[in-house]
Amino acid sequence: MDAFRACLAIYLYCVLRATREPPATLLGIDGAPVRAVDLGGLGAWVSEVPSAPIVPSPERARSHDSVVRAALEGETPLPARFGQTLASEEELRAAVAERRAALETALARVEGAIEMTIRMLVPRSESVPSETTAAQSPRARSGREYLERVAAAQREERNVLARTQAVRDRISAAVGGLVRAEAFAAAAPGSTLATLSHLVPRPDIDRYRHALLTVRHDDPALAFMVSGPWAPYSFTEGIGT
Q: Which residue type does 15 have?
A: V
Residue 202 is a binding residue for other proteins (CB under 8 A)? yes
Cβ atoms within 10 Å, residue 94: 11
Q: Cα angle at 62 between 76 and 57, to 5 degrees?
A: 135
Q: Which residue type does 233 have?
A: Y
Residue 96 is a binding residue for other proteins (CB under 8 A)? yes
Taking CB under 8 A as the rule, which mask of x and - marks residues 101-140 in contact with other proteins? --x--x-------x--x-x-x-------------------
Cα(102)–Cα(100) distance, rounded to whole angstroms? 6
Binding other proteins by CB under 8 A: which of 18, 57, 135, 177?
57
Taking CB under 8 A as the rule, which mask of x and - marks residues 4-33 in contact with other proteins? -----x--x-xx------------------
Task: Please say whether the beta carbons of 49 and 9 come within 8 A.
Answer: yes
Burial classification of residue 126, based on how many CB atoms lie within 10 Å of its CB (0-12 exposed, 13-18 middle, 19 or more buried): exposed
Site residues, other proteins (CB under 8 A): 9, 12, 14-15, 51-58, 61-62, 64-65, 68-69, 72-74, 78-86, 91, 95-96, 99, 103, 106, 114, 117, 119, 121, 187-188, 190-193, 202-203, 205, 209, 212-213, 216-217, 220, 223-230, 233-234, 236, 239-241
